[in-house]
Amino acid sequence: MKRRVRLLRSADFDRTLRSGRRAASEYLALFVSDNDVGRPRVGLAVSRKLGNAVVRNRIKRRLRELVKPLLTQTEGGRDVVIVARARAVDAEFTRLRQEIEMLWAKGWGR
């Protein structure tokens, strides 16, 4: 993902996690809050509890790939934080796609 669509500052992560709308499933949790930038930004959170660096990076690569098409369809200034849960480690790519699309629609109020 390009730098301009990534959520980079920890203050933005904290604000989104504290005050954002929430939607969750067995695999992922999604937090959404408004921003002043005017475009959507996405941040990923994958805990060390889920596995070693190889496992965490694989989850992040999958999530980034799934978020790309959603970002092109989305308008408005909102920050999104996606938190991977333990079941995401073994989830199939198609299942993660279904989950993230469902959560994205809930989080954006569609």
Query: What does the pLDDT look like over 80-98, one tens digit per residue?
Result: 999 999 999 999 999 999 9
Evaluate whether 7 touches 79 at the Cβ level (below 8 Å). Answer: yes
- As a dihedral over the C-alpha atoms of residue 53, residue 58, residue 61, residue 62, rounded to 10 degrees, the angle is -150
Query: Could you give the 3-state DSSP secondary structure of residue 76?
Result: coil
What's the CATH fold of domain 3-107?
Ribosomal Protein S5; domain 2 (3.30.230)
Q: What is the pLDDT of residues 2-49, one digit of tens each?
A: 888 888 899 989 999 998 789 999 999 999 998 888 888 999 999 999
**Domain map (residue ranges) of the chain:** 3-107
Of 74 and 32, more confident: 32
